[in-house]
């Protein structure tokens, strides 16, 4: 089994319901959720004129390879109504692989650690809540230190505590 950290985000429709359905499907098809962060609310990152996002991070134990995990994530996103028409656009659900078992992966369509992880408070805040001591395999800093060093100014507010 490998440990992976996934970010979940939604800014369309019943945001909480989409993330709960995603966790249910991830548990059924990918592995056991070991930890989950609180849910945070932020303005949209990258493309501002859209509803606020809810974001959280989960730690999952999986026997899937990173490529198979990504395939399953895309299937779950599509099943839950994800449309990939506008980059950083409004969506029912967005699931990203942030980290996978200390691996560094650079394949077409899959980069792990997530290349923007250290630049975005909406992923660092929930990730630090459940894995602040985890060392980023490329930057050689803990998630807690990356959070301290992050220059993102997008406000992150607690929506619901785990």
The CATH number of whichever domain residue 13 belongs to comes to: 3.30.70.560
* 57, β-bridge pairs: 7
Name the nearest CA neighbour of 118 among 151, 88, 87, 89. 151
Count of domains forming the chain: 1
* Residues assigned a catalytic role: 82, 91, 94, 96
Out of 52-61, 117-126, 152-161, pick the least confident. 152-161
| Residues 29-58: tens digit of each pLDDT | 999 999 999 999 998 876 667 889 999 999
| Residues 74-120: tens digit of each pLDDT | 999 989 876 655 555 566 799 999 999 999 999 999 999 999 999 99
Domain of residue 86: give its range: 2-160
Q: How far apart are the first and last CA of the chain?
A: 25
Q: Is the dihedral of CA 142, 145, 150, 155 positive or negative?
A: positive
For tokens 């290349």, what's the residue? Answer: 115
């Amino acid at each position: 089994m490998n440990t992976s950290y996934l970010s979940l985000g939604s800014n369309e429709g019943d945001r909480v319901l989409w993330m709960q359905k995603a966790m249910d499907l991830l548990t059924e098809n990918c592995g056991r959720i070991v930890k989950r962060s609180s849910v945070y609310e932020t303005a949209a990152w990258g493309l501002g004129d859209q509803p606020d996002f809810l974001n959280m991070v989960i730690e999952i134990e999986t026997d899937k390879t990173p490529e198979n995990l990504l395939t399953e994530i895309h299937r779950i996103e599509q099943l839950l109504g994800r449309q990939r028409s506008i980059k950083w656009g409004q969506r029912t659900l967005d699931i990203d692989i942030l980290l996978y078992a200390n691996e560094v992966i650079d394949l077409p369509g899959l980069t792990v650690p997530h290349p923007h992880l250290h630049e975005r408070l909406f992923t660092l805040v929930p990730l630090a809540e459940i894995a602040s001591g985890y060392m980023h395999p490329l930057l050689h800093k803990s998630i807690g230190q990356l959070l301290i060093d992050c220059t993102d100014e997008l406000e992150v507010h607690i929506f619901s505590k785990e």
